[in-house]
Amino acid sequence: MRKVAVVGIGCTKLGEHWEKSLRDLSTESGALALKDAQVEGKEIEALFIGNMSAGRFVGQEHLAALAAEQAGLNPIPATRCEAACASGALAFARACSSIQAGEHDIVVAAGAEKMTDLKGTDAISTLMGAGDQEWESSMGLTFAGLYALMARAYMKKYGLTREELALVPVKNHHHGMNNPYAQFHMEIDVEKVKRSSMIADPLRLLDCSPITDGAATIILASEEAAKRFKNPVWVRGIGQASDTLALHNRADITYIAAAEHAAKKALQQAGIGIGKINVAEVHDCFSIAEILAYEAIGLAERGKSKDLLNNKETTIGGRIPVNTDGGLKMGHPVGASGIKQIVEIVKQIRGEAGNQVKGCDYGLAHSVGGSGATCVVSVFGKEEPE
């Protein structure tokens, strides 16, 4: 199986882009990635784009063909990938597969979402398409409600306090201050989180990722093609797993089993343990999601995530910094978030990040679709695999 490297990255500013369309955003991030890689469009052999719900958000289906057209890439094959909030990560995985299989040498993996054209209630309804329509959304549940159930169950089982839960957004807002792409640039503290508006008990407004417009793109190359690029970052392992769509069918709602399976596979492919990872980007759509991610990927034992937060081990300067760009709390354009995470990991390994981790040789990206029905975990390294 052929090796794969990331040779170019691009990301738009995340936020409310009233003046830009979905095609504008995807084209902008693509142009930035091509410029970063110093390749021309005619060298791209295939395009994979992650998108959750452009049809409902902006009335545009058939997004892959549109992205290829706007980038001037016709007639290459263009494929849209959908796995809710893990859509971008899935596009990346499929792009890697096409290179590993020998189909292509230089490929685009992208993600894009334009969410703010809908009013908030309609956007929330659209997002619930990632849940179980019959058993969840039709009953009035939202994703804030689902993650609130997970949070309450976890707090009761493991003794996590409201103050400890708030340490997640406090950390991520702090990290986001040095991220030029972030939707927000403001420090917060535990009391501010606790005073923010209640969304679904115990989750408050500052526990929740925002509604965001944005796009991100990476350029991937085979080992032969990567020889011409400076500073390639190597894909060391990819794992994907699934679980029940409906939360009530899970064996344990305080644990994301799909993430555990995906992480184990990715780390096994990489030939390293979690202890070798220097930096991680994990799916923090709600504060509890980051806590569950720590345990699923192996950073903490079950019920022990609070120790990492209390000891600031996942803060810049700590043992394993997590969400060094502020995570999804600093912008969550759902179809693009999985690619955005990879952009930050690549920057860290290159030594170009805003909150640079010293001696960053390995990074991990963890992306979740829905409440945990899909998970994609990817591992990256500075050195080419043997």
* Cβ–Cβ under 8 Å, residues 373 and 242: yes
Q: Is 107 helix (H, G, I), strand (E, B) or coil?
A: strand
Contact 381, 270 (CB under 8 A): yes
How far is CA 360 from its chain centroid? 19
Taking the C-alpha atoms of residue 151 and residue 166, their distance in angstroms, rounded to an integer, is 12
Quick check: 364 and 345 in contact, CB under 8 A? yes
How far CA 19 is from CA of 79, 123, 349, in Å, comes to: 27, 19, 34
Helical ranges in the chain per DSSP H: 22-37, 54-57, 63-70, 87-100, 120-127, 143-158, 162-176, 190-195, 257-270, 287-297, 305-310, 337-350
Cis check: omega of the bond before 202, within 30 degrees of 0: yes
Out of 17, 175, 332, 366, pick the active-site residue.
332
Q: Active site residue: 85, 285, 360, 375, which one? A: 85
Say how far apart CA 266 and CA 264 lie, in whole Å: 6
Q: Which residue has the tokens 């003046």?
A: 19
Q: Is 283 a catalytic residue?
A: no
- Tell me the CA distances in angstroms from 23 to 10, 61, 111, one per residue in order: 15, 12, 11
332 carries an active-site annotation: yes
SS3 for 68-84 is HHHCCCCCCCEEEECEC
Place of tokens 């685009």: 108
First to last CA, the chain: 12
Catalytic residue positions, numbered: 85, 332
